[in-house]
Amino acid sequence: MPPVDPTSRPRNAEATRLDLLRVARRRFTVLGYERTTTRDIAADAGVNVALISRYFGSKEGLFAAVIEDSAELMEPWQPGSIDDLAVALADSLRPDAWPEFDHVNPMVLLLRDIDDDRVGALRRQALSSAIDAFAGLIGGDDTARLRADLVFALLAGVFQLRGVLPDEPLATAEPDVLAREIIGVVQHLTG
């Protein structure tokens, strides 16, 4: 992402804060926490690196704010029906999905672990809320949460395996074939 010229930017604290969150979310998703620097985030947003400290306290604070602000990342996985969820899951794996994150699914942001208890708790809370909402869709018996956990474990495994083994059938499957198979597994787990 090309840096923004800071002299061309009007002063607006809330817009600057939102730009920093947007740029940080992209960098943390694509590169991970460890490989993302505050200098790169500030350069991409076209602001002085000191503004990260001003608005977020530190890199850890910025990451925590990104996680907190990322509840909408889970919205595609909280639709009105199980079939909608299965389709949303499959669509999120299409090669043209998530261009704003270099085609890396932003759920990866919530799966990466770092050595910060506060940030880890926020990450777990975001995932848990999404799984609870899905368990509510499944409803019914005491195993609803377990089945919802299994669906999300499937999704997390697909994301991870596609990144690690990019030439395996999972990564190279036609989107419609992958969608059909994911829908079948989700329907079996939730049925």
Q: How far is CA 56 from CA 50, 123, 138, in A?
A: 10, 17, 38
Write the class of the CATH domain 6-66: mainly alpha
The answer for residues whose C-beta is within 8 angstroms of residue 165's C-beta and 6 or more apart is 171
Per-residue pLDDT tens digits for 58-81: 998 998 888 877 666 655 555 566
Q: How far apart, in whole angstroms, are the C-alpha atoms of residue 166 and residue 158?
A: 11
Lowest mean pLDDT among 43-47, 149-153, 161-165: 161-165
Q: How far apart, in whole angstroms, are the C-alpha atoms of residue 13 and residue 136?
A: 39
Residue 70: both structure tokens together: 């990322």
* 133 and 80 Cβ atoms separated by less than 8 Å: no
Q: How far apart, in whole angstroms, are the C-alpha atoms of residue 65 and residue 112?
A: 15
32-36, 44-48, 169-173, 187-191: which is most confident: 44-48
Q: How far apart, in whole angstroms, are the C-alpha atoms of residue 108 and residue 160?
A: 8
Residue 21 has a pLDDT of: 93
Q: How far apart, in whole angstroms, are the C-alpha atoms of residue 19 and residue 126?
A: 22
Per-residue pLDDT tens digits for 94-138: 778 878 877 777 777 777 766 777 777 877 887 887 788 778 877
The answer for residues whose C-beta is within 8 angstroms of residue 127's C-beta and 6 or more apart is 74, 110, 152
Residue 175: both structure tokens together: 């989107």
Residue 104: both structure tokens together: 């890396």
Per-residue pLDDT tens digits for 1-54: 556 555 555 678 899 999 999 999 999 888 888 889 999 999 999 999 999 999
Residue 136 has a pLDDT of: 81
Does this model's pTM top 0.85? My answer is no
